[in-house]
Structure 1
Amino acid sequence: MAGSISHMYIYLALSMSVLWSMFEIRGCPFQQCGLRVMLEKIRIRSSPNNTCLNNNGEHNELVETFLDAEINYLGQLDHPNLVKLVGYCLEDDHRLLVYEFMPKGSLENHLFRRNSYFQPLSWNLRMKVALGAAKGLEFLHSDEVKVIYRDFKTSNILLDSNYNAKLSDFGLAKDGPTGDKSHVSTRVMGTHGYAAPEYVATGHLTARSDVYSFGVVLLEMLTGKRAVDKNRPSREHNLVDWAKPYLTSKRKFFQIMDVRIKGQYTPEAALKAAYLALQCLSTEPKVRPKMTAVVKALEQLQDSGDDKGVHQNAAAHSSRPNSRYALKKNPDGPQPSASPLST
């Protein structure tokens, strides 16, 4: 229900103080202060301002700016590939955001956690998730919306019961440049390993910065490796730096493909996905494709699948949303402030 998010009181069986003690989040760093509680059909994210302190013991007001951005953006935008904000509560020391429940959790869990609940995603599902997430970014970058997401990563891509991807966590989102401006100048924020190099170097933010981050996530989906992992050999710490030489070689590329999806894709499909990732990861922002082109490439990749089962889950793939989902932001409403995450 975009544009009319409810300001509600949330009554829980357990008191907030019990919840805080149960999850032991006192003194947590900023990015861990979002307590998520699963209650059947909704997801509650709460941030008590009396528990979020910085290293100096001072109150971290960035929680407030994060909540403002989340409410302002998700409260005014509606799209199948954005998580729905059901309501919020800002009363006294309690800060709660209520979302639609996403039962399959995050893409990060399915790619990197090894347990019985989070099963490795098949090639088909990975491409379905990639397409859904791309459509979410395409919508944000559209002329009707013009929002730069700024923190595109696997943990922010949530999956519903049918593995439809939805972007969540808009605390770092930023309005795109207006008029004849080519970029937005802002403090560098985001997550190490996903942020575009020119943004890290200059603070100049554009929609192509999100495209780079998409390339990182697509590379993670192809390889099954995290963007940054200090547990790997030193030359492999940064996935992009390590993998780029493989992406440019048809012979070497298959050496870095995730072994868990071996035999589930055609060589042609894998190479097309690798080339798309390489384009998105260009060090020259203008060379990177727009998200409309990325969506088209992923749709064509699925349409060109053959006997290796690229179409096994075709019925479950969502159709491309059209402009009827685009809701313009309220120009008279408060503009959210971005809030930093650890890098």
Structure 2
Amino acid sequence: MNLAFTCSFHFSDSSRKRYITEEIKKVGKGHISAKIFAFRELTVATQNFNLENMIGEGGFGRVYKGQLEEMFHVPFVQVVAVKQLDRNGFQGNREFLVEVLMLSLLHHSNLVNLIGYCADGDQRILVYEYLANGSLEDHLLAEGKAPLDWNTRMKIAAGAAKGLEYLHETADPPVIYRDFKASNILLDAEFNPKLSDFGLAKLGPTGDKTHVSTRVMGTYGYCAPEYALTGQLTSKSDVYSFGVVFLEIITGRRVIDNSRPTEEQNLVTWVCIGFQNF
């Protein structure tokens, strides 16, 4: 599946919804399976975005557990995760469009399934399959949860690696995820991992190009140092981030933990010092 597309936003607010819809149709070339939801439909599905249904919150906005019924033209009652982007937050129109296109054109068992989206007015909402066990971060770092056993940890690491491999080796052109971290790895009822949140994803280099030059984006602690220094993005940047998450998986420590002694606050630095002293 060729994913070549460009995103440009020089539009008034009133024309952005139309542009998003037209761009998705144009780039998708009939391959977009995501449904288009009206805001009122998702209001019903989430019981008016009831806080009791909220299952996640971050700089992007809030995620609610919802239920799609026959009135939404689905064949059966379906439990979903509804991510309502903060209209004043980081993830804007560009990231919204990128995520809809990426998850509509990329399909793999270790990528989250996008069911649909809403672009009514200034609303930007994404509807995903519901994954019962939340994020990897929840299980590694949250208090009150039973620790994951070793086999489950390795299962999650292997599945996440397969998701990255698909993006790097199968997608045409390759896709650089750019935000690989524990909170973006979601887990289904059997703890199978699925990569989520593709708003920062970038099409990788093609032909004789070795990298993509771009503004440095990502999450502190997970970002590859050479990318942070130069802005030159390659699939190896994702591999570095995978290594950081793998360290989290096997140690149970946060990538950045300011509550620890200074020399232990950065997980990667702490591990490197440990190897030097080994």
TM-score class, shorter? 0.7 to 0.9
8 Å contact 1:3–1:77 — kept in the other structure?
Answer: no
**Residue-by-residue CA offset, 1:283-311 (whole Å, 9 max, x unaligned):** xxxxxxxxxxxxxxxxxxxxxxxxxxxxx
In structure 1, how many angstroms separate the alpha carbons of the residues matched to 2:42 and 2:205? 41
Q: Does 1:113 align with 2:142?
A: yes
How many equivalent residue pairs?
232
In structure 2, how many angstroms separate the alpha carbons of the residues matched to 1:102 and 1:15? 19
- Residue equivalent to 2:197: 169
Residue 81 (structure 2) aligned to one of 43, 53, 60: 43
Q: Which has the higher contact order (CA 8 A, sep 6+)?
A: 1
**Residue-by-residue CA offset, 1:293-343 (whole Å, 9 max, x unaligned):** xxxxxxxxxxxxxxxxxxxxxxxxxxxxxxxxxxxxxxxxxxxxxxxxxxx
In structure 1, how many angstroms separate the alpha carbons of the residues matched to 2:62 and 2:171? 33
Residue 215 (structure 1) aligned to one of 243, 259, 262: 243
Q: Does 1:89 align with 2:118?
A: yes
1:166 deviates by 0.1
8 Å contact 1:48–1:93 — kept in the other structure?
Answer: no
**Residue-by-residue CA offset, 1:24-46 (whole Å, 9 max, x unaligned):** xxxx9xx5232100125210001
1:119 deviates by 2.2
Matched to 1:68, the amino acid is: L
- Residue equivalent to 2:106: 77
**Residue-by-residue CA offset, 1:94-137 (whole Å, 9 max, x unaligned):** 2211000010000000000011xx32111010000000000000
Matched to 1:63, the amino acid is: G
- Residue equivalent to 2:208: 180
- Residue equivalent to 1:98: 127
**Residue-by-residue CA offset, 1:213-245 (whole Å, 9 max, x unaligned):** 000000011111011111111111111011124
Residue 94 (structure 2) aligned to one of 37, 62, 65: 65
SS at 1:74 equivalent = helix
Q: Does 1:12 align with 2:43?
A: yes
With normalisation by structure 2, the TM-score equals 0.77
- Residue equivalent to 1:309: none
SS at 1:155 equivalent = helix
Q: 1:248 to 1:139 in 2, by over 3 A?
A: farther
- Residue equivalent to 1:305: none
Map 1:271-310 onto structure 2 (within 5 A).
none
SS at 2:105 equivalent = coil
1:179 deviates by 1.2
1:143 deviates by 4.4
Greater strand share, structure number: 2
Q: Does 1:141 align with 2:179?
A: no
Q: Provide structure 2 residue ranges, at least 5 long, that are not aligned to the other structure.
A: 1-30, 68-78
8 Å contact 2:106–2:171 — kept in the other structure?
Answer: no
1:15 deviates by 7.0
Q: Provide structure 1 residue ranges, at least 5 long, that are not aligned to the other structure.
A: 54-59, 253-343
Q: 1:202 to 1:11 in 2, by over 3 A?
A: closer
In structure 2, how many angstroms separate the alpha carbons of the residues matched to 1:122 and 1:63? 38
In structure 2, how many angstroms separate the alpha carbons of the residues matched to 1:215 and 1:241? 13
In structure 2, how many angstroms separate the alpha carbons of the residues matched to 1:208 and 1:96? 31
**Residue-by-residue CA offset, 1:148-173 (whole Å, 9 max, x unaligned):** 00000000000000000000000110
In structure 2, how many angstroms separate the alpha carbons of the residues matched to 1:223 and 1:174? 30
In structure 2, how many angstroms separate the alpha carbons of the residues matched to 1:224 and 1:120? 9
In structure 1, how many angstroms separate the alpha carbons of the residues matched to 2:276 and 2:113? 39
Matched to 2:176, the amino acid is: I
Identical positions, percent: 49
Q: 1:143 to 1:165 in 2, by over 3 A?
A: closer
**Residue-by-residue CA offset, 1:167-219 (whole Å, 9 max, x unaligned):** 00001100000110100000001000000010000000000000000000000
Q: 1:11 to 1:203 in 2, by over 3 A?
A: closer
